[in-house]
Amino acid sequence: MNKKLRILQLYPKDMNIYGDWGNVLVLKRRAEWHGYETEVLEHDTGDDFPKDIDIVVGGGGQDSGQGRIQDDLQRAAPAIHRLAEKEVPMLVVCGLYQMFGKRFITRQGQEILGIGLFDMETRGGDERLIGNVILQSDEFGEIVGYENHSGLTNLSSSVKPLGTVVRGAGNNLSAGNEGARYKNVIGTYLHGPLLPKNPEIADWILEKACSKKFGDFTSTVIDDRLADSAREIAKTRPR
Ligand code: GLN
């Protein structure tokens, strides 16, 4: 029997816009190409938080969706923190990225509590920041994605961003950085979805999950020419 990875998607009913579910599809398909089985689980409000999770993925949502999940997310917070401390890889995008920080204050002044995994907070801004984004990151080289948010995120000085903005807005309009890192947790504003255009990040997540669970990661060479073209095309599109 093949080795199996359990992938958890957080709040797909409320937090899954701009194709964020595609991140789960990419992890599942690439894991299978590398020779692993996968099981995809979903956690929505009211569900019991599942056990034995190897990868956690979460997407973006409207402010209203963030409001709907906030109580349940507080309930799940201890389990998520435990997984993060055990170096389980996670990818959280936009709305859930904001809620992995300490709090999000909407444009209307409503406070939505986060779980404080990243030492950062977000405030709703006056402008929507929309368009293709290019980042440069130490670990993954160039990252290409698409942002659509009005929240402006400020990282505390101890938090490492995912990358430096080459094109686009990123965390806010002045810091020149995008996303956040904590252990094997990646937070980012980048939709697209992110992983089809950035397979290196997908394989990094799989490598972390497999090394932790099975002691090693056996990979195969995957033809990523389509992903490469998608990146190149996104880079030439107007913002
Ligand atoms: N509501 C948040 C914002 O606009 C998150 C948006 C999103 O997840 N795309 O800042």
Q: Please tell me the predicted confidence (pLDDT) of residue 46.
A: 98
The side-by-side arrangement of strands in the sheet containing 180-182 is 37-43, 4-10, 55-58, 90-93, 185-188, 180-182
Q: Please enumerate in sequence order all residues whose Cβ is within 8 A of that of 110, keeping only pairs 6 or more positions apart, or say none.
A: 63, 67
Asked if 17 and 61 touch (Cβ cutoff 8 Å), the reply is yes
Q: What pLDDT shows up at residue 238?
A: 81
| Sequence-distant (≥ 6) Cβ neighbours of residue 184 within 8 angstroms | 84, 87, 88, 89, 90, 205, 208
Cα 100 from Cα 210, distance rounded (Å): 24
Q: pLDDT (tens digit, 9 = 90+) per residue, 202-220?
A: 999 999 999 999 999 999 9
Q: Are strands 90-93 and 103-105 parallel, antiparallel or unpaired?
A: unpaired
The reply to whether 34 belongs to the active site is no
Helix (H) / strand (E) containing 70: helix 63-85
**Per-residue pLDDT tens over the stretch 21-63:** 999 999 999 999 999 999 999 999 999 999 999 999 999 999 9
Give residue-wise pLDDT tens across range 77-93. 999 999 999 999 999 99
pLDDT in tens, 95-112: 999 999 999 999 999 999
- Which tokens go with 178? 């995008």
E-only strand ranges, 156-218: 163-167, 177-178, 180-182, 185-188
* Confidence bin at 17 (pLDDT 50/70/90): confident
Using 50, 70 and 90 to split pLDDT, how confident is the model at 1? low
The angle at the Cα of 159, spanning 155 to 165, to the nearest 5 degrees, equals: 65
Distance 220 CA to ligand 1 centre (A): 36
191 is catalytic: yes
The per-residue pLDDT for 159 is: 98
Residue 224 has pLDDT above 70, yes or no: yes
| Average pLDDT value over all residues in the chain | 96
What are the pLDDT digits (tens) for 116-172?
999 999 999 999 999 999 999 999 999 999 999 999 999 999 999 999 999 999 999
Q: How far is the CA of 95 from the centre of ligand 1 (A)?
A: 5
Domain boundaries, the chain: 4-236
196 contacts 227 by C-beta, under 8 angstroms: yes
Residue nearest to atom 5 of ligand 1 (CA): 95
Q: Is 14 in the pocket of ligand 1 (CB under 6 A)?
A: no
Catalytic residue among 34, 149, 191, 210: 191
Q: Tell me the mean pLDDT in the region 3-9.
A: 98
**Domain 4-236, CATH homologous superfamily name and number:** Class I glutamine amidotransferase (GATase) domain (3.40.50.880)
Q: At 192, is the pLDDT very low, low, confident or very high (cuts 50, 70, 90)?
A: confident
Q: Can you tell me the distance from the alpha carbon of 224 to that of 198, in angstroms, rounded to the nearest whole number? A: 10
What pLDDT was estimated at residue 48? Answer: 97
With a 6 Å cutoff on the Cβ, whether 94 touches ligand 1 is: yes
> Does 149 sit in the ligand 1 pocket, CB within 6 Å?
yes
Tell me if the pTM is above 0.95: yes
